[in-house]
Amino acid sequence: MGSQLNNGLRGKFVVYTEAGKLFFPSFMAKQQSASKTLTLPWPSWVLMVAAYMTYGGFLHQRGMSNLGWALSTVFALILATVTTIGWKLCRRFILLGFQSDLGYFLMALVLASTAVAAVTQFHMFASIALLVAVSLLVRVDMVIANFANGVAFLIMVFLSLLGLGLSWVPQTLGDSSHSSTGSGNPVQHQRID
């Protein structure tokens, strides 16, 4: 019966099954493969750059030192590594933690410390949680788009550093407008009578 359906419906706009398998007409398969090669997860990439720009603005607002900026850059690299090329190792490490009492104790300790950080430094915690969430979103989109782990790592590092770098633009433009007047104070004109 399946072969009769196969011969009778060839080339039509119908999807049919035979022994639990899906068959698509040939023109549909070509359209699907062409759309996959042209699809880039650019909306999530824009969200990642915007999230890192927001985080950089937060760092500027707090007057973060160069050490804070360096640690933020290292955090971006670690996050990109964990979600791409280090995913299997990280997953194995977390699952290993649930196999012993010591692992459960350490997980509870980390969870309690995270809760304290969330309460005492809410804005910083929310910013970091946003970065983790957007990194996971970008990684899922790149898995769907069939990016290799190495390429995904390089793209995620580039996007995060681009966002941190772009957060310096308003600060730099603001400093250059104040430095054009000399001391950063508005020029005062004296009235001559």
Does residue 78 lie within any of the structural domains? yes
Which stretch of 29-38, 54-63, 101-110, 184-193 has the lowest confidence by average pLDDT? 29-38
Exposed/middle/buried for 191, CB within 10 Å: 0-12, 13-18, 19+?
exposed
Does residue 184 lie within any of the structural domains? no
CA-to-CA distance for 62 and 105, rounded, in angstroms? 34
Does residue 27 lie within any of the structural domains? no
pLDDT score, position 55: 94
Tokens of 58: 């937060």
Exposed/middle/buried for 108, CB within 10 Å: 0-12, 13-18, 19+?
exposed
Asked if 82 and 132 count as a contact pair (C-beta separation under 8 A), the reply is no
Does residue 84 lie within any of the structural domains? yes
CA-to-CA distance for 55 and 51, rounded, in angstroms? 6
Does residue 107 lie within any of the structural domains? yes
Domain count, the chain: 1
pLDDT score, position 87: 86
Q: What is the mean pLDDT of residues 96-106?
A: 84
Most confident among 9-13, 95-99, 165-169 (mean pLDDT): 165-169
Most confident among 11-20, 99-108, 117-126 (mean pLDDT): 117-126
The CA-based angle 89-92-95, given to 5 degrees, is 150
Range of the domain at 117: 42-170
Does residue 132 lie within any of the structural domains? yes
pLDDT score, position 11: 47
Does residue 151 lie within any of the structural domains? yes
Tokens of 155: 């793209």
**Can you give the pTM of this predicted structure?**
0.68
Does residue 22 lie within any of the structural domains? no
pLDDT score, position 69: 93
Instruction: Give the model confidence (pLDDT) of 29-70 as tens digits.
Output: 444 454 445 478 899 999 999 999 999 999 999 988 999 999
Which stretch of 82-86, 94-98, 146-150, 181-185 has the lowest confidence by average pLDDT? 181-185
- Report whether pLDDT(18) > 60: no
